[in-house]
Every structure is written in C-alpha cells, then in structure tokens.
Amino acid sequence: MAENNDYGSEQVSIPPDGRPMEQQPRWRQDFPIDWPLDEYISRRDFVKFLMLTSAAFTTGQFYLLARSAFGSEEKLAEKIIARVEELPVGESLLFEYPDGSPARLLVRIEENVFVAYEQQCTHLSCPVIPHVDERELFCPCHHGVFDMMTGRPIQGPPQRPLAQVHIEVRDGVIYATDIEERTS
C-alpha cells in the first residue's frame, strides 16, 4: 500500500500509525522517508548520545586530573640494574624499569656519579643519546638537548624534562628504586 511522493521516484511505505498519507501531519508529507529507516535515530536521541558521550569524556578527564594531582602512593619495587664494575666511567646502559616499560638509560658520568632517565625524548619520543663529554643527552630527531645532570631541556623543541629514574648504589650494585615524572 505504497504511493508515490511528489518527487515521483521513491516509494514511501505505510507510516507506523497505519493512517494513509493524506491524514499524516504536514511535516511527514514534506519529508517522505521510508518509515522503517525513520525509526533508527531521531535528533533527540542523537543529541542525548552526544551529551552522554561528552559527559563520559569530561568525567574521564576529571579522573585523570585527580589521579595526577594526588599522585600514586604505590611504590615501585627495587630492581638491580648492574654492578658498578660492569659500567665504566663515560659509558651508558639501557635497562627496563619497571619490567616491560619503555627503555631507561643509566649513565656513569664520573667514578661515583650515576644518572638514569627515560630514554624517550619528551618532544616526540625519539631515543636520546648520551654525550658524556659534553654532559648532554642528545635527541637526533629534532636536535633536542637535555642537561645530563638534571634531565632538563637546554636546546631544541623539547619543553619538558626527561622522567628521572631514582637510583641507589649499595655494596657495589646499582638499584633502580623509583621513577619521577616531571613537568618542569
């Protein structure tokens, strides 16, 4: 029981309430959409979906903000990185801490001076390379340079310092004890 609309090319099925097309409200006559397709989504449902999705994203952002503001009280487990005699002065060593995480970089600057940072540049996550003689960590991707003692950017596009791995040397063994994510 379909009839042609004013455009002549499409067939419109019977409206959901069963009344003929002449008895339908004017807006239905102006918008001859196949009725089974008309039930998929209304503007009200679409706006409701957008509002709920926006609320979910906003809630997620507040959760992340609260989590970063209060920090995690969870302490990472210590991990043995190397023995002191295995790492000569001026050399570096890649290691994972905690297990399965991105590579970390341990550098022995002087006889009793060790530093450790995340190896990824804070600009675009390229690996940094230690230049011990200049006391710099160099990112070859965009020529970013970090101070080796502090991990802070001193040249190039990086704006944030490298995440610092806290290390301890006890009985000739180098331990990673914690990671400090820094923003400035």
Please indicate, yes or no, whether residues 20 and 92 belong to a single structural domain of this protein. no
- pLDDT mean for each 10 residues of the chain (184 residues): 46 64 74 62 85 96 85 76 93 87 90 93 92 93 93 93 94 92 76
* CA 99/CA 7 separation, integer angstroms: 67
Q: What is the DSSP string of 118-153?
A: ESB-TTT-PBPEEEGGGTEEEETTTTEEEETTT--E
Q: Specify whether 118 is located in the same domain as 31.
A: no
CATH of residue 162's domain is 2.102.10.10
**43 plus 90 within the same structural domain:** no
* pTM of the predicted model over 0.95: no
According to the model, what pLDDT value does residue 2 have? 47
pLDDT of residue 36: 60
